[in-house]
Copies of this chain bind each other. A is one copy, B any other.
Amino acid sequence: MKRSKKEYPLAQVYGLLEPGPVVLVSTNRSGRFNVMPMSWHVMLEFVPPLVGCVVSSLNHTFETLRKTGECVLNIPTAELAKKVVACGNASGLSANKFEAYGLTPVEAGIVKAPLIAECYASLECKVVDRTLVTKYNFFILEVVKAWVDPRTKLPRTLHHMGEGVFAVPGRTIRLPSPKTSFLT
């Protein structure tokens, strides 16, 4: 584990995923690491943090997720944009994407899938509900351990707007919000 990332409270994980960043889903299938970008995710519960996500059955990751029931959601920032797109345009069947794109796998704390050192946050996940997998390719994950680089204050996350266009946060607005749950 790179020293730059520290364990992060599970109750605050929603603030990482709720703004809608592209994530890199890393998996481990019998010792073979793979990674794919994904934007179709949603928070479902604060504690324990539950995350729903769509992984197309056309992707290699779909079968791995079904078989292993584990993955890591890694959150990249703008510096990694080209690698993110490259990961999305190659198949894990033919390429070792970690080697091909210079991503560094790091051993996770609980799951067998690797953390990605270059991403500012990594969420170790287990599949906990497969009710909608057949109909919508929709997996429900529980975040069982979270890691964040504490030096990253306003992460320049990537927000996919379609066809290779990404928005990147430029500033923050702070407003009084007496209820933390107001946006659910």
Taking beta carbons and an 8 Å cutoff, which residues of A are in contact with B? 12, 14-15, 18-22, 37-45, 50, 52-56, 58-59, 78, 81-82, 85, 88-89, 131-132, 136, 138, 140, 154, 157-184
A172-B183 in contact (CB<8A): no
Copies in the complex: 2
Contact of A42 among B42, B85, B177, B178 (CB under 8 A): B42
B166-A159 in contact (CB<8A): no
Give bound CA distance, A160 to B140, whole Å: 21
Contact of A53 among B12, B42, B78 (CB under 8 A): B42
Closest chain-B Cβ to A39's Cβ sits at a distance in Å of 4
Give bound CA distance, A54 to B3, whole Å: 36
